[in-house]
Amino acid sequence: MVNFDSLLESMADLIADRVAKKLASSGRTPVQPRLLTVEQAATFLGRTKEAIQHMVSAGKIAIVKSDRRVFLDVRDIDAWIEANKQEGFQ
């Protein structure tokens, strides 16, 4: 008897492959937002929302304000990543 979870997983993989092929053949790439909310930036960096807010308040990363909304520029996040890279331990 086929395991229901493995059947669903196989179907999801097939659907994902078909969608990826259609996107690739259409020549269109999905639009990626340049500005992220604090929550999105936290997910992007694998941190908590509170950790991102601490980075902002400490001046470690710039924000973009629009009215009362706060965003983080993906380019600033990428620059922070590059500036904080260290060589691996030996």
pLDDT digits (tens, 9 = 90+) for 66-78: 999 999 999 999 9
Domain that holds residue 48: 35-83
Q: How many domains does the chain have?
A: 2
74 contacts: CB under 8 Å, gap ≥ 6: 32, 33, 34, 35, 36, 44
pLDDT digits (tens, 9 = 90+) for 2-48: 688 888 888 998 998 888 888 778 777 677 899 999 999 999 999 99
Instruction: Specify whether 26 is located in the same domain as 40.
Output: no
Is 24 domain-assigned? yes
**Could you give the CA distance from residue 25 to residue 76 in angstroms, rounded to a whole number?**
32
Is 89 domain-assigned? no
Is 88 domain-assigned? no
Is the pLDDT at 89 greater than 80? The verdict is no
Instruction: Specify whether 58 is located in the same domain as 19.
Output: no
